[in-house]
């Protein structure tokens, strides 16, 4: 699986190249923060409106598949509720990756910043769960500058992880259009 890293910013979001995006949504976090907040901003509040209707609330175990049209360079958004505490469990992450695989995703953008109390924990949870989806490529969107270094170090012994940017790559291979 090829892995790319991009900063958490509107500029990076606008340039993402993946067929799917996954968000972990806290039931009580309003307005949305992090990658979910940036996506909602770019979608002109479309995700917030879905939350306001109660169709999807971010409750633990909830899942939402939303086509994105042309607003972002991504075909589908998969949102997964994590409940009131906002703590994402490893079980929730694993179930999300299974659903992502069933949705037919080949490439995925997501933020793993909130998957653990530390970058090491977040990377470990992601590495164990990600295999369930059978993805060819992932773009990890992060505000944590330590996370790319930690993920690379933890995955160094696993040849199934190939990091874009370790060799000369085109902008598309780096996760941007």
Report yes or no: 109 and 51 within 8 Å, Cβ to Cβ: no
Question: Residue 38: pLDDT above 80?
Answer: yes
Report yes or no: 111 and 35 within 8 Å, Cβ to Cβ: yes
Report yes or no: 114 and 147 within 8 Å, Cβ to Cβ: no
Question: Residue 71: pLDDT above 90?
Answer: no
Instruction: Write the DSSP string, 81-116.
Output: EEESS-PPPHHHHHHHHHHHHHTT-SEEEE--GGGS
Domain boundary assignment for the chain: 2-163
Q: Tell me the pLDDT tens digit for each residue of 122-176.
A: 999 999 999 888 999 999 999 999 999 999 999 998 999 999 986 444 444 445 5
Q: Which residue's entry shows tokens 């040849």?
A: 159
- Could you tell me which CATH class the domain 2-163 is placed in? alpha beta
Instruction: Write the DSSP string, 43-96.
Output: TTTHHHHHHHHTS----TT-EEEEE-TTSSS-SEEEEEEEESS-PPPHHHHHHH
What confidence score (pLDDT) does residue 169 get? 43
Alpha-carbon distance of 56 to 38, in angstroms, equals 18
The continuous run of DSSP H or E covering 128 comes out as helix 119-129
């Amino acid at each position: 699986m090829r892995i790319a890293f991009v900063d958490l910013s509107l500029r990076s979001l606008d340039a993402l190249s993946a067929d799917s995006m996954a968000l972990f949504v806290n039931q009580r976090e309003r307005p949305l923060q992090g990658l979910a907040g940036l996506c909602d901003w770019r979608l002109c509040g479309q995700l917030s409106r879905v939350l306001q209707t109660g169709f999807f609330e971010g409750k633990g175990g909830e899942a939402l598949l939303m086509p994105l049209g042309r607003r972002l360079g991504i075909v589908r958004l998969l949102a997964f509720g994590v409940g009131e505490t906002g703590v994402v469990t490893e079980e929730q992450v694993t179930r999300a990756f299974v659903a992502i695989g069933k949705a037919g995703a080949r490439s995925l953008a997501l933020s793993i910043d909130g998957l653990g109390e530390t970058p090491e924990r977040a990377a470990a949870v992601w590495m164990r769960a990600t295999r369930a989806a059978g993805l060819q490529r992932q773009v990890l969107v992060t505000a944590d500058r330590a996370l790319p270094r930690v993920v690379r170090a933890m995955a160094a012994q696993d040849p199934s992880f190939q990091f874009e940017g370790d060799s000369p790559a085109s902008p598309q291979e780096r996760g941007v259009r």
